[in-house]
Amino acid sequence: MAKHTAVVTIALACALGAGSALAQKVQKYRTPDGRIIYSDTPVPGARLVDEIAPPPPPDPKAAEAARAAAQKQGEKTDKAVEQRIEQRSQARNEVQAAETALQKAKEALERGREPLPGERLGTVSGKSRLTDDYFARQRANEAAVAEAQARLDKARAGTR
């Protein structure tokens, strides 16, 4: 028990000593060669220029309020970062989906170049001609490619 009391006494003395050391004034000295020295003890050969008082001890309530405000701001920042990450992820997913849709539309356009049965008609002169259905299908495929390209452009613009 005596050992425990001695440890507590030493710890208490150290804590009190640290508090008094923090409360000492600091002096500003100028040496003959023009250097500035800050010290809590006199500097031989230097002239005392100023004495700086220690800052007041921190207000525990103000410190706690500042800590709480910083924590709240940190939580706000974390939430904003998480939202931004989610937005970027959604934008990336939209770009990937748009790229896939554009690729499929281009493939459908290429596959659709060849006339389907019934879209080529023979003529009296022995040649053939394509029907209006063929050209309507081509326009629809080209419109699908243009629409997919526009969707991709819009999705890419959203990632910037």
Q: Cα(158)–Cα(152) distance, rounded to whole angstroms?
A: 10
> What is the rounded average pLDDT for all residues in the chain?
85
pLDDT tens-digit readout, 78-113: 999 999 999 999 999 999 999 999 999 999 999 989
pLDDT at 14: 52
Per-residue pLDDT band at 53 (split at 50, 70, 90): confident
Q: Name residue 103's amino acid.
A: Q
Contact 26, 48 (CB under 8 A): no
pLDDT at 22: 53
Q: Cα(122)–Cα(124) distance, rounded to whole angstroms?
A: 7
Ranges of each domain in the chain? 22-56, 83-158
Per-residue pLDDT band at 8 (split at 50, 70, 90): very low
